[in-house]
Structure 1
Amino acid sequence: MQLQGKRIIVTGGARGIAASVVRAYAAEGARIASLDVLDDEGAQVAAAINECYPGAVSFHHCDIADRAQVLAVFNEAAERMGGLDVMANIAGVERTSPAEDIQQEHWDLIFDVNVRGTLHTNQAAFQHMQAQGGRIINFGSAAGLTGMPGAAHYSASKGAVLAWTRTVAQEWARHGITVNAVAPMIWTPMYDTHRAKMSAEALAAHDQHLSTIIPLGGKLGNAERDLAPVLVFLASDGARFITGQTLSVDGGTVPSR
């Protein structure tokens, strides 16, 4: 029970990676406020987890691109839990397009959620952690480290998240707040949507490409097996002396390049 008594906010908790992380946090003894704009799915995930770990999770509607909404929900969640020890900002969006064809609305959406959402959630968490310290975990991507052809706007947003993380880790260290990021290559519902748009030929080429760039297994990882335990560690007391880092959970992809 590495997180016994920890009070945690997780954004994007309705599905995918974040839902797996909420489950892992509950299993380790934490109390969690799960935030998302997908109300039905978010409530269902929370209810299912509470069947195994009664009272562990509360669900809250929250659009992290909306600053006022974030501040209000964080205040509500922290009051409900009696404080805030950890915040994992996992919510994010992705769109693909050749760089020359990127639509303004898609650029704005990606930066509103991925970048402004990071600003809003981190600042809100800071308000509750300033006096006693805490853990902030942001979500980058290999796209923010090495680039991702066909998704320059997504890559740019994740690069911004990683730069923000490195900087505020230095600024907020004096308050006992650690700020780290993960750059995962994990199979998610968002990735399923991406694959569904590909032709059979494109999908075969894509899978062949992954088999050559991911040294460990040749394909994307599993959220519960490969990533959630890393998020548990970063939220735990064992990570108290780690800050300003980007941890690539990608089967060795980035180093191989």
Structure 2
Amino acid sequence: MQLAGKRIIVTGGGRGIGAAMVQAFVDEGAHVVSLDLGQSADLAGADGGWSTSRTCDIADRHSVDAAFEWADQQLDGLDVLMHAAGIAPNARAEAISLDEWEQVFAVNTRGTFLTNRAAYERLKHAGGRIINFASAAGVVGQPGKAHYAASKGAVLAWTRTVAREWGPLGITVNAIAPAMWTPMYEATRASMSGEQLAQHDAFMAGQLPLGGRLGDPARDLAPVLVFLAGEGSRFVTGQTLMIDGGMVMLS
């Protein structure tokens, strides 16, 4: 029970990676509030962990403020924010409309600003952990996702800066860049022809030294996030952890 009694907010906790992390935190004894556009089922762990949920639009200041206030009451405080919510639409750079650009930045970048600031107000007296979801796209770029890559680059710069500013208060701020097999990825694979899928799998096999395919969230990502949320990571801040089977190697 590495997170026994830890009070955690997870954004984007209603589906995909976020939902898997809510389950992992509950299994480790944490008390979790999941925030997403839709509510999800409550969980109860065998060793005192539990989760509940509330709707929240992370791009809207009033929605974030209300959701964090409600979560604060449910948890009786806050120790960890795991900010996983975001969007990743596809479009070539020359085809992105201004409305599409601003929507991606509203969710991914403004959402990071609003949720991190709301967490800061609750962590500034006793310290705690903020874990932001970034992307390899924000480090090396990604064709077809210029707006997404730019928004995640901003998340990385924000993470490094507030890690310096908030570190003296005992708040660690780190970012992760995961490459995981999710339901969204399953849908992407299902949309490919047999030839496209074979080409894609061959490409992935050459990109990921560990196994040649995307990771499993419960097996490959959850243990890292449990570590980042716990006491063992107290001396780690301002870092971008690439949890991607070696796809991107930073010097």
Same fold (TM over 0.5): yes
Question: What one-letter code is carried by the residue in structure 1 that aligns with 2:72?
Answer: A
**Aligned partners of 1:193, 1:94: CA distance in 2, in Å?**
14
CA pair 108-198 structure 1, distance change in 2 beyond 3 A: farther
Q: Alpha-carbon deviation of 1:199?
A: 3.4
- Of the structure 1 ranges 233-242 and 198-207, higher mean CA displacement relative to structure 2 is found in 198-207
Residue of 83, 86, 110 corresponding to 1:92: 86
Instruction: In structure 2, list runs of 5 or more residues that go unmatched.
Output: none
**Aligned partners of 1:97, 1:126: CA distance in 2, in Å?**
34
SS across alignment from 2:249: helix
**Aligned residues of 2:29 and 2:49 also touching (Cα < 8 A):** no
Where do 1:89-168 residues align within 5 Å? 89-168=83-162
SS across alignment from 2:118: helix
Which residue does the alignment assign to 2:23? 23
Question: What one-letter code is carried by the residue in structure 2 that aligns with 1:224?
Answer: A
CA pair 30-89 structure 1, distance change in 2 beyond 3 A: same
**Aligned partners of 1:53, 1:33: CA distance in 2, in Å?**
17
Q: Alpha-carbon deviation of 1:113?
A: 1.0
Q: Judging by fraction of residues, say which structure has more helix.
A: 1
Q: Alpha-carbon deviation of 1:244?
A: 0.2
Q: Alpha-carbon deviation of 1:198?
A: 3.2
Which residue does the alignment assign to 1:173? 167
Residue of 65, 72, 79 corresponding to 2:66: 72
**Aligned partners of 1:233, 1:180: CA distance in 2, in Å?**
12
Q: Alpha-carbon deviation of 1:256?
A: 8.6
SS across alignment from 2:224: helix
Identity across aligned pairs (percent)? 55
Instruction: In structure 1, list runs of 5 or more residues that go unmatched.
Output: none
**Aligned partners of 1:152, 1:195: CA distance in 2, in Å?**
21
Q: Does 1:188 align with 2:182?
A: yes
SS across alignment from 2:151: helix
TM-score normalised per structure 1: 0.93
Which residue does the alignment assign to 2:203? 209
CA pair 56-84 structure 1, distance change in 2 beyond 3 A: same
**Aligned residues of 1:131 and 1:175 also touching (Cα < 8 A):** yes
**Structure 1 residue runs of 4 or more that deviate by more than 4 Å after TM superposition:** 51-55
CA pair 227-145 structure 1, distance change in 2 beyond 3 A: same
Which residue does the alignment assign to 2:246? 252
Alignment length (residue pairs): 251
Which residue does the alignment assign to 2:220? 226
Question: What one-letter code is carried by the residue in structure 2 that aligns with 1:37?
Answer: L
